[in-house]
Amino acid sequence: MKKKSREEVRKNMQAIRGKNTKIEMVLGRALWKKGYRYRKNNKTVYGKPDFTFKKLKIAIFCDSDFWHGKDWDILKLRLNTNREFWIKKIEQNIKRDIEVNQYLKLKGWTVLRFWEREINKHLDYCLAIIDLEIKTSSLTLKRVPYSNQETPQ
């Protein structure tokens, strides 16, 4: 395998996006097709989840296997170039994910995280988990009582 030049590596890294990734698009289309309407990358919710159902307090994250450290203990052994940087970077991402989860749960949110591989290979399973959570949350959603002045007929 030909080793890539610094410029090629730099160009590849610049092409990586934080929003509208392939896995987000796949999951988003599937949710839309099921009739769910969501908010994408909602800045008003801590951690800017990829998808939010704010009324139901459900936050969904689509985590890239590499950037969020799937099987990190194995993966970090395979890093060959710039090991210190990548280990620090990925471990910070893992720590941030844990902090975001804890904060949102403390505020009453349900946090769902799906790995890239799960979305790509087991989309129906991911949708079933989301579907179950939405239905469960919808049942427990508290209704605001009508004021005394206006009663529906």
Give me the sheet containing 58-63, strands edge to edge: 39-40, 51-53, 58-63, 110-115
Residue 90 near residue 77, CB atoms below 8 Å: no
User: If you search the block for the tokens 């946090």, which residue do you land on?
Assistant: 111
pTM of the model: 0.79
> pLDDT of 10-67, one tens digit each?
565 555 555 678 999 999 999 999 999 999 999 999 999 999 999 999 999 999 888 8
Among the ranges given (25-29, 82-86, 120-124, 136-140), the one the predictor scored with the smallest mean pLDDT:
136-140
Q: Please name the fold of domain 21-134.
A: Endonuclease; Chain A (3.40.960)
Q: What does DSSP say about strands 58-63 and 39-40: parallel, antiparallel, or unpaired?
A: unpaired
Best CA proximity match to 41, nearest among 65, 18, 17: 18
User: What are the extents of the domains in the chain?
Assistant: 21-134
Residue 82 near residue 133, CB atoms below 8 Å: no
Residue 63 burial (CB count, 10 A): 21
